[in-house]
Amino acid sequence: MKRIASFGGSLAILFLLVGAGCDNTSPTNNQDVNTTTDTVPTTEQSGTLDTVQENSFALQASAVGNNQVAFEWTLESSMAEPKQFILLRDSEKKPEMDGKKFWFRQDGSHRSATWVDVPSGIQSFRIC
């Protein structure tokens, strides 16, 4: 866990979750996705929050100011190319794709995204 000096911002990101709870999303070519959970408390407007690495999937998230969070991820070359990624956000831990959470789809060929208008406080994110 990394802790970054505060720049007076109000954005607090608590959980970065990868994979788990995404069973009811559109299937990808890869049926064996690992899950990773990491706790990253911060109150920054900008700066790298943390990197989550789990065998075949690595995720890095950064608060980039103006209530935005940038995500970058990599997959092992041995993994099949997915058709899409789904990014989820919720104020509760472990958001699931139930139609009630905030989400957006990202083409499977892309390995980065920026979530804008993230509310202040604690937010949980999941990339499926």
Domains of the chain (ranges, CATH numbers): 11-127 (2.60.40)
The whole-number pLDDT of residue 112 equals: 92
8 Å CB contact between 66 and 48: no
Measure the CA angle with vertex 72, ends 67 and 73; round to 5°: 140
> Residue 109 contacts by C-beta under 8 Å, 6 or more apart in sequence?
81
One digit per residue, the tens of pLDDT, for the chain of length 128 reads 333 333 333 344 434 545 544 655 443 333 334 333 333 333 444 445 555 555 577 888 888 888 999 999 888 888 888 899 888 888 888 888 887 778 888 888 889 999 999 888 888 888 88
The whole-number pLDDT of residue 85 equals: 87
Is the pTM above the cut of 0.85?
A: no
Distance in angstroms (rounded) separating the CA atoms of residues 103 and 56: 23
The whole-number pLDDT of residue 113 equals: 92
